[in-house]
Amino acid sequence: DRHPEPQFAPDPSKKTLVILGTGWGSVALLKKLDTENYNVVVVSPRNYFLFTPLLPSCTTGTIEHRSIMEPVRAILRHKKAAVKFYEAEASSIDPDRKIIKVVDSSEIKGATSETEIPYDMLVIGVGAENATFGIPGVREHSCFLKEIGDAQQIRKKIMDCVETAAFKGQSPQEVDRLMHMVVVGGGPTGVEFAGELQDFFEEDIKKLVPEISDRFKVTLIEALPNVLPSFSKQLIDYTENTLREEKIDIKTKTMVKKVTDVSVEAEISRPDGSKERVTIPYGLLVWATGNAVRPIVKDLMSKIPAQKDSRRGLAVNEYLVVQGTRDIWAIGDCAVAGYAPTAQVASQEGNFLGRLFNNMAKTENHETRIQELSSRMNIQAGDSAEAAHEIESLERQLRRIKDIKPFRYSHQGSLAYIGSEKAVADVSWWNGNFATGGSMTYLFWRSAYLSMCFSTRNRVLVILDWLKSKVFGRDVSRE
């Protein structure tokens, strides 16, 4: 064979660091990590990083999905030492044998699609899955909004609803059902999606399919008394008023209890304390009720006695070490460190671990060198002054490196797009906070998200998509 595959050659003198996931947490860690210090192996069923803040814009084609994806291979290419990437899903972790089992869950499988990978150090950054609370019919009939495939499915279904509603001889009731887009969950995902959907309708569908335009309706259902519960009162009011102006129907204190292929059944709590059961027909249903723990994380938690009281994910200490283990760290949505499950938290945690691991490697190198020098001093007395000097300097550096402070999250603020070129922002400023909403905030939202994009390539693609949909309108081909 004249062209052998370049092999990732693990160095037996280095520890093997296995990183699970290619999301916000793991990619921030990879960016910071000096890969020369470890044999680094990355395992994820997704061979790309996804910029989730702009995912709602992909559901309507304001942004094309590939503009917010960055291939892992391109990220790893820039690292100093080669990193092994396996596109696979970790199916279980054995903390006693220090081994993970992985399976290739993609469409094409080779003769080997299941294997084991040993680790010395393991970082779990697998994120979370969609919460359904066991409500019947949710998994079968609704769309989630977490992955690229979800956004593509929603985009297709919106147009399918529109084209089916415009079909010859459709009854008025059926047109109303098909044109009713229901969003369950008034957190930032649900609010941003509802806003994007209404924009799409106002700016494009109305012009292109005028015959059904007066029937289009977006309903946002939230179990709590208001939407965006994590934002300030002033911004909640601003958001709810703006959504109402956009003609989005907000149903708060309404909890969905059951889902069928054509309707949702919900319970409304009335001000007098009574409850009313209603059936709401829909054409498209998007389920955005937050996070649930992934099976692999649940399985690991059940193997560690110290995790028995943890419910929302892997409880970690202030250095992000999984409680009850020594060589496993957890970051992002799968970790419980006392912060909200956001990209901001996940990326700061990943960055922290990158620094921590770089320091740990430096510490080990320094300690080995000090040992070497000390034993040499005992043998060759002639060199001792020079060696003693170097030892002193190394020890000074060691004290500085070893003094790494525990992880502390620094909140930069919360931002959400709410439709009709308006956004809301709760921003931390010096020691204070300020809340703002409106069109200027929208410009701020756009520039903030642009600056956060992974690469210049992503940034350029997103700008071009924004321009393209503004100038030519969104592409309504159903594909």
- Give rounded-to-5 percent helix, strand, coil for the chain: 40, 25, 35
**Contact status: 414 vs ligand NAD (CB under 6 A):** yes
**Contact status: 332 vs ligand NAD (CB under 6 A):** no
**Contact status: 52 vs ligand FAD (CB under 6 A):** yes
**Contact status: 58 vs ligand NAD (CB under 6 A):** no
Q: Which residues from 67-86 bind ligand FAD, rule CB under 6 A?
A: none
Partner interacting with residue 46 (select from ligand NAD, ligand FAD, none; CB below 5-8 Å by kind): ligand FAD
Q: Which residues from 302-361 bind ligand FAD, rule CB under 6 A?
A: 332-334, 341-344, 346
Given its phi and psi angles, is residue 324 left (phi above 0), alpha (psi -120 to 50 degrees) or beta?
Answer: left
**Contact status: 235 vs ligand NAD (CB under 6 A):** no
Report how far residue 393's alpha carbon sits from residue 400's, in angstroms, rounded to the nearest whole number. Answer: 11
The residue type of 459 is: R
Shorter beta-carbon distance to ligand FAD: residue 38 or 454: 454
The sign of the torsion formed by the CA atoms of 165, 170, 172, 174 equals negative
**Contact status: 255 vs ligand NAD (CB under 6 A):** yes
Report the nearest approach of ligand NAD to the CB of residue 155 (Å). Answer: 18
Q: What angle do CA 199, 202, 205 make, to 5 degrees?
A: 105
Q: Which residues from 80-119 bind ligand FAD, rule CB under 6 A?
A: 89-90
Shorter beta-carbon distance to ligand NAD: residue 253 or 355: 253
**Contact status: 23 vs ligand NAD (CB under 6 A):** no
Given its phi and psi angles, is residue 474 left (phi above 0), alpha (psi -120 to 50 degrees) or beta?
Answer: beta
Please say whether the beta carbons of 352 and 25 come within 8 A.
Answer: no
Helix H or strand E encompassing 156: helix 148-165
**Contact status: 465 vs ligand FAD (CB under 6 A):** no
Shorter beta-carbon distance to ligand FAD: residue 281 or 413: 413
**Contact status: 198 vs ligand FAD (CB under 6 A):** no
Report how far residue 287's alpha carbon sits from residue 289's, in angstroms, rounded to the nearest whole number. Answer: 6
Report how far residue 56's alpha carbon sits from residue 197's, in angstroms, rounded to the nearest whole number. Answer: 9
Which residue of 17, 33, 45, 251 would you call a contact of ligand FAD, by CB under 6 A? 45
DSSP 402-437: H-PPPP-----EEEEEEETTEEEEEEEETTEEEEEE
**Contact status: 331 vs ligand NAD (CB under 6 A):** no
**Contact status: 330 vs ligand NAD (CB under 6 A):** no
**Contact status: 25 vs ligand NAD (CB under 6 A):** no
Which residue of 22, 142, 342, 348 would you call a contact of ligand NAD, by CB under 6 A? 342
The interface region with ligand NAD, picked from 305-313, 340-348, 362-370, 375-383 by CB under 6 A, is 340-348
**Contact status: 41 vs ligand NAD (CB under 6 A):** no
Q: Which residues contact 127 (CB under 8 A, 6 or more apart)?
A: 21, 23, 25, 294, 332, 333, 334, 346
Partner interacting with residue 332 (select from ligand FAD, ligand NAD, none; CB below 5-8 Å by kind): ligand FAD
Which residue of 288, 301, 328, 425 would you call a contact of ligand NAD, by CB under 6 A? 288
Q: Can you tell me whether residue 364 is helix, strand or coil?
A: helix
**Contact status: 188 vs ligand NAD (CB under 6 A):** yes
Q: Between the CA of residue 350 and those of 28, 70, 338, what are the distances in Å?
A: 5, 17, 15
Shorter beta-carbon distance to ligand FAD: residue 24 or 201: 24
**Contact status: 346 vs ligand NAD (CB under 6 A):** no
Q: Which residues contact 302 (CB under 8 A, 6 or more apart)?
A: none
Phi and psi, residue 439, nearest 5°: -75, -35
The interface region with ligand NAD, picked from 178-186, 203-211, 353-361, 454-462 by CB under 6 A, is 178-186
**Contact status: 413 vs ligand NAD (CB under 6 A):** no
**Contact status: 61 vs ligand NAD (CB under 6 A):** no
DSSP 322-334: BTT-SSEEE-GGG
Which residue of 22, 44, 67, 189 would you call a contact of ligand NAD, by CB under 6 A? 189
Report how far residue 138's alpha carbon sits from residue 185's, in angstroms, rounded to the nearest whole number. Answer: 13
Phi and psi, residue 267, nearest 5°: -115, 120
**Contact status: 361 vs ligand NAD (CB under 6 A):** no
- Interface residues with ligand FAD (CB under 6 A) are 20-26, 43-46, 52-53, 55-56, 89-90, 125-127, 145-146, 189, 294, 296, 332-334, 341-344, 346
